[in-house]
Chains A and B, each alone.
Chain A
């Protein structure tokens, strides 16, 4: 005896209703988790899209820090870092390094003098294969305290309202320190003369398991010659890449890797707050940049310098930025690698 669908529906109405309810509840929970029902949620997609200039993003390029040039070299670790961290990159030794000098702009064609922030993407591979990636900038502090505020800043800087940035700065007093740096700090004529600061706080884990919050910087070992924005502009739109290629071709360039250890009570969750100058620092080694390669077909182009790629012995802290950056960089990486055919090859 075969039931028709109609008669089955009649006799088993409750059962069908239960099935429908279970399936709907599961699908609804899934949609909610995916954020499809929450247009207000700050997603990596929204955060990354907010960098795009009015004409749309430069396809195939990083969604921020889009202009850059690759390098390879070594990290000479002196062993001093092992006191605070058991990370293999701090054991004495010389480890391969790969990185990227870059400008903090979404436009890969931006003239050098129009960009205030310079950056360094860096990857060091320890003897045991563990990888440490970091992306640092020359500013001494980050403009804002939270990822949400950074998103709001991006929106304000793209806003048609001429007062948007003023309003933003009013609502975010922490912005003042970065603003003051951006207005008054001199430029330099070389990527090699910049100090690159990690700004985010990580936890160093010692062999004993003891944890200590720390930040790091890469401090140039050569002389630094301050110049004005006008001087920089006069040297041409792509001066920095030409200059670093010539300079490194003549001689390797060096930076001291420096850990800054927090004292109890130092702000660890807020990269817009500098720590006092008196904090203990440890010089843990030297980054030696030996060779410059153009970004097209260069070894850095397809690397995501995700700051949460860390060796055992360095962990994220309560600083909310590394997680937000990891999520956003992954999105940017998804997009730009999928657009590789738009990236001009040499």
Chain B
């Protein structure tokens, strides 16, 4: 590879958008399922477990891809605190997309539930049965999921700020248009 990368690779963008849609779906399914007693509860729960585990796999793949392909540098004129905020929030997003499915899986394990996905694919327990652990993980899952949603809203607002206000090519580096950072603001 020659010179600095200017946009995320096609694979990175594909992963970003597929996962963005799925993670948002997971958050909506999560709060939807715990607030209903209707028949859809069961299909929502099965989807939640299955998609959640699929996302765990995708997140690990994505980290590997990220380590190999890197990321375009942020615009040099972006104020230092915003640069830091951007980097820190990306670390957090990665951390949450790996932690939440693991916590969900751990919570079901510590609850002595058989972990049945679509199919009926079954996963092994990753923790021994324990009230204390399952309570800790339950609280962690709920509050981290809400924090994840808040962070995603912030991330989305920031992306649109780059795209609509600053027009600095950051949004374009992740959208499917294969624009190069720096080219996006003018014709």
Interface residue B161 (Cβ < 8 Å from any Cβ of A):
yes
- Provide the residues of chain A in CB contact with B164, threshold 8 Å: 12, 15, 18-19
Q: Is B36 an interface residue (CB 8 A)?
A: yes
Q: Please give, as numbers and ranges, the residues of chain A lying within 8 Å of B41 by CB-CB distance.
A: 323-324, 326-327
The answer to whether A337 touches B134, judged by C-beta atoms less than 8 angstroms apart, is yes
Q: Which of B24, B28, B37, B111 contacts A323 (CB 8 A)?
A: B37
Cβ-defined partner of B160 (8 Å) among A22, A45, A320, A333 = A22
A147 within 8 A of B: yes
- Chain B nearest Cβ from A45, distance in angstroms: 8
Residues in chain A near residue B40, CB distance under 8 A: 323
In Å, the complex CA distance between A312 and B120 comes to 7
Say whether chain B's binding surface is mostly helix, strand, loop, or mixed: helix
**Residue A35 lies at the interface, judged by CB distance under 8 Å to chain B:** yes
Given contacts A316-B42, A320-B38, A340-B131, contact A29 B114 (CB under 8 A): no
Q: How many residues of B contact A (CB 8 A)?
A: 38
B residues less than 8 Å from A129 (CB atoms): 114, 122
In the complex, chain B residues 97-122 whose Cβ is within 8 Å of any chain A Cβ: 111-114, 116, 120, 122
Q: How far is the CB of A24 from chain B (nearest CB, A)?
A: 9
Is B131 a contact of A22 with CB atoms below 8 Å?
Answer: no
In the complex, the answer to whether B37 meets A43 with C-beta atoms within 8 Å is yes
A44 and B132 within 8 A (CB): no
Residues in B1-60 with C-beta less than 8 Å from chain A: 24, 27-28, 31-42, 45
Q: Mark B146-167, 1 if CB is under 8 A from A, else 0.
A: 0001000100110011001100
Report A's interface with B, CB cutoff 8 A: 8, 12, 15-16, 18-19, 22-23, 26-27, 29-30, 33-35, 41-45, 47, 129-131, 147, 302-304, 306, 308-309, 311-312, 316, 318, 320, 322-324, 326-328, 331, 333-334, 337-338, 340
Q: What are some 15 contacts across the A-B interface (CB < 8 A)?
A: A12-B165, A18-B164, A19-B157, A19-B160, A23-B157, A30-B31, A41-B36, A129-B114, A308-B42, A312-B120, A318-B39, A323-B41, A324-B41, A327-B41, A337-B131
Residues of B near any A CB (own CB < 8 A): 24, 27-28, 31-42, 45, 111-114, 116, 120, 122, 129, 131-132, 134-135, 138-139, 149, 153, 156-157, 160-161, 164-165
